[in-house]
Amino acid sequence: MDFTRLRLLVELDRLGTMAAVSEVTGMSTSAVSKHFAVLEKEARVPLIVPDGRRVRLTPAGRRLAEHAVEILARVEQAQAEFDGEGEPVGRVDLVMYTSAAPVVLPALRRLREDHPGIDIRLTEHESDQALTLLQDGGADLGIVYQYSILPRDFPGTLSVHPVGTEGLLLAQPSGDGDSRTLTRRKLREFAHASWIASPFRGDEEALIRRMCADAGFIPRIAHRIDNLRLFEDLVAARSGVGVVPRLTAETRRGVAHAPLGEVGGVRQVYLAGRTGNWAWRPIRLVARYLHESATGILDDVPPLVLD
């Protein structure tokens, strides 16, 4: 049903005469009458009956007017949200990779305090799966990454916005090196090491193979471990070496971390969402809070410019 005709019905219920409705709406009486005739066809029941020189609403007409008040209020509320007025309300499904927690969790705490009407639901996935989920409509917003020396092809149906970079480190047994930035020459010292790679992140293994190939050797992937504690235990036990993002690296006895530098590049972090979804205020607010949270945690944080 047309919202204009529903508004006319509400006004008729409030004012009681066609002439009064005509006066407050600026329409002619005949135009108002024609709108009611169309509304009755849409409702498929009589809504108005003559009452002397006036008209009155039938029981069905009064009931529809009651519904119309609620419908129009919801429409006005939705319009106010899109116009940036009033408190934003709605559910936002956010997909994130595990080590983005230092960026995501502070943003969620602030959002709960500032905008309790936004209901955020988290799903944990690596970036490949997250991008698929975003395309399929299973998530509204994602925080994803790519390695700078292994750029990925982002789907054309999604818009991505950079939020910063994160350094990458070589986790090695203490005594095998120091914390100075890695060089290809230093990396070649690990040509016969047992390397650790995640069984779930194919891009991580691709990164290891790429940087080792650039240094002139093929790495031996001996362990496929995703649990960070077990990963660090293996390194401390002198049973392997591997790559860890800066935010997940733990200071512990027996493990040294050296920045990869140009040898391995950095992790580039993005906010991703379906093109066209950025107009919805709750999504824009979540994106803005995530970007603000990244400042001081990630490196090279650019201004956030949404579509």
User: 259 forms bridges with which residues in the sheet?
Assistant: 169
Domain ranges of the chain: 3-83, 90-163+267-295, 165-265
Distance, CA of 29 to CA of 35 (rounded, Å)? 10
Q: Tell me the CATH number of domain 3-83, given options 3.40.50.300, 1.10.10.10, 3.40.1350.10, 1.20.1300.10.
A: 1.10.10.10
For the whole model, what pTM was predicted?
Answer: 0.74
In the 8-state DSSP scheme, what is residue 206?
A: H
**Residue 52 φ then ψ, to 5°:** 70, -125
Tell me the C-alpha distance between 267 and 100, whole Å.
Answer: 11
Identical topology for domains 90-163+267-295 and 165-265:
yes
How far, in Å, CA of 285 to CA of 280, rounded?
Answer: 9
What is the CATH topology of the domain spanning 90-163+267-295? D-Maltodextrin-Binding Protein; domain 2 (3.40.190)
Per-residue tens of pLDDT for the chain, all 307 residues? 688 888 888 888 878 888 888 888 888 988 988 988 898 888 888 888 888 778 888 889 889 988 888 888 777 767 766 666 667 888 999 999 999 999 999 999 999 999 999 999 999 999 999 999 998 888 999 999 999 999 999 988 899 999 999 999 999 998 755 778 999 999 999 999 999 999 988 899 999 999 999 999 999 999 999 999 999 999 999 999 999 999 998 888 899 999 999 999 999 999 999 987 888 889 999 999 999 999 989 999 999 988 6
CATH of 165-265, one of 1.20.120.530, 3.40.190.10, 3.30.450.40, 3.30.300.20: 3.40.190.10
- Contact assessment for residue 276 and residue 137, using Cβ atoms and an 8 Å cutoff: no
DSSP string, 38-67: HHHHHHTS--EEEETTEEEE-HHHHHHHHH
C-beta of residue 260 within 8 angstroms of C-beta of residue 171:
no
Token pair 């650039």 is at which residue? Answer: 214
